[in-house]
Amino acid sequence: MVRRAVLLFVSFTLSAFVIGCGDGDKLSKENYDRVTTGASGMTVEQVEGLLGKGKVEQSAAVNTAEVNASMQTRVWEQGGRKVTVEFVNGKAAVKTQKGL
């Protein structure tokens, strides 16, 4: 009975760990290569669909009568892997990676 309870606990713990690491599996060279930049750049939502939830590192906006622009830098990190995407007006403009 105790052995069964221990096995059940270990199974649930491992399942929670695997589910919690889901975004780490998304941080791959293949998904990085799928992120499009430039004129046909992806939205934040599209990039996060590929890489998981990113951390906002920088954000700025200019709203005047002549100019309406925004810039945001998001970062994804896992272990020694890092992806940085800069968004201009909501579209991916520049991407860099390290360790993929």
Query: What is the count of structural domains for the chain?
Result: 1
Is 55 among the domain residues? yes
- Model confidence at 98, in pLDDT bands (50, 70, 90)? very high
pLDDT at 31 over 80: yes
Q: Is the dihedral of CA 7, 8, 10, 15 positive or negative?
A: positive
Q: What is the CATH number of the domain that holds 42?
A: 3.30.1450.10
Quote the domain boundaries for residue 65.
Answer: 23-98
Q: What is the pLDDT of residue 1?
A: 52
pTM greater than 0.75: no
The reply to whether 42 falls in a domain is: yes
CA distance 32 to 96: 9
Give a yes or no: residue 41 inside a domain. yes
Q: Is residue 70 part of a domain?
A: yes
In sequence order, what are the residues at sequence separation of 6 or more whose Cβ sits closer than 8 angstroms to the Cβ of residue 84? 57, 73, 74, 75, 76, 95, 96, 97
**CB count, 10 Å around CB of 61?**
11
Evaluate whether residue 2 is within a structural domain: no
Closest CA to 93 of 66, 64, 62, 72: 72
The predicted model gives 28-55 an average pLDDT of: 96
